[in-house]
A = this chain, B = another copy of it.
Amino acid sequence: MSAFPFSKLVIFGVGLIGGSLARGLRERGAAQGQRGQVIGVGRRAHSVARALELGVIDAAATLDDEAALAAALDGADIVLIAAPVAQTQALLERIAPHLQPHTLITDAGSTKSDVIAAARAALGERIGQFVPGHPIAGRESSGVEAALPDLYVGRNVVLCPLPENTPEAVERIAAMWRATGAVIGQMSAAQHDRVFASVSHLPHVLSFALVDQILDTPDAELKFSFAAGGFRDFTRIAASSPEMWRDVCLANRTALLAELDAYTEVLAKLRAAIDAGDGAALETVFARSRAAREAWQERGGKKLAQATPEADGAK
């Protein structure tokens, strides 16, 4: 293994996430001198064709061409699965027959326990070659056209190493992400799933639910007409992909239900306080929330785990 994290990288799903990794590694100079080759694999010829046209990848393969798939994986150092989490197991089953001993696989899925279960089912004894990962980055737009070389600058990438992973394997995946400007965090898969159920998946469900609830009221039009900034911020994530969030909710069902139930209890407590006219109870909750939200913002909000000066360039 060279000092550079890969000489051949294969990306399954060259959209925003996979495409930004490829562009980030190249355009941030990670591949200077010993530029790695990047192969994109897609379900449809036209999506990888677009990635080729844009110069995001060097070569392309589609899933329906077994020989091209085998050639793509031959000699690969790292394979990234950047497809919807529900496809993970099927993709790993396609990869498994061509998996070489020195190849590492990682992923970019928003949930980890289910991805690990899929990887164990597909890879069996070779599970140590799979290092679960989750880059915490996104944009409102998707697809390879939206890919940015600096998408990961200063952003967190969470790795959830398995007992079967060697420290060297974990470090190799970490080095790849670091080369894009990302900051690496580590936690267990269970912790990861609780954390993101709480700060990402649940807010999405709550935001979708508010818009849905308004739509079923007789004065929905009037409500939307007078909705202002608070509504805009609160429901921004309700414009997210329904398919992706359906999959995330199902993939992270256990952790999400636990957070949702705890949240419903807080709502019930607030409902009781409003009903009883208990202003002191409301103010206590609101003041505690505001203090925590302000402290979070002051510590840098989403950039908390960065701490590096170059993080300022991230957008």
CB within 8 Å of B: which residues of A? Answer: 136-138, 156, 158, 185, 187, 191, 194-196, 198-200, 202-217, 219, 222-243, 245-247, 249-250, 253, 256-257, 259-267, 270-271, 274-275, 277, 279, 282-283, 285-290, 292-294, 296-297, 301-302, 304-305, 311, 315
Contact = CB atoms under 8 A, between A and B. Distances in A.
B274 A253 contact: yes
Contacts of A263: 209-210, 213
Contacts of A289: 207-209, 211-212, 215, 238, 242
Contact of A199 (B199, B214, B294): B214
11 contacts: A185-B226, A199-B223, A199-B231, A203-B231, A211-B288, A211-B293, A216-B266, A234-B236, A235-B293, A238-B293, A261-B271
A77 to B, nearest CB: 28
A262 B262 CA distance: 19
B223 A195 contact: yes
A204 B219 contact: no
Q: For chain A, what secondary structure do more than half of its interface residues adopt (helix, strand, loop), or is it mixed?
A: helix
Residue among A223, A260, A287 with max Cβ neighbours from chain B (10 Å):
A223
Given A225-B304, A247-B279, A290-B238, A267 B260 contact: yes
Contacts of A222: 187, 191, 195, 315
Contacts of A212: 266, 285, 288-289
Contacts of A198: 213-214, 217, 223
B267 A228 contact: no
A271 to B, nearest CB: 6
A292 B205 contact: no
Contacts of A264: 264, 267, 271
The 4 closest A-B pairs by CB, nearest first: A242-B286, A211-B289, A199-B227, A242-B287
Contact of A283 (B185, B246, B256): B246
Given A202-B210, A222-B191, A305-B225, A257 B234 contact: no
Contact of A275 (B211, B242, B257): B257
Given A237-B233, A246-B279, A224 B288 contact: no
Contacts of A265: 213
A287 to B, nearest CB: 4
A249 B282 contact: yes
A283 to B, nearest CB: 4
Find the residue from A136, A205, A214, A289 having the highest chain B CB count within 10 A.
A289
Nearest to A185: B226
A213 B286 contact: no
Contacts of A236: 230, 233-234
Contacts of A290: 208, 211, 238-242
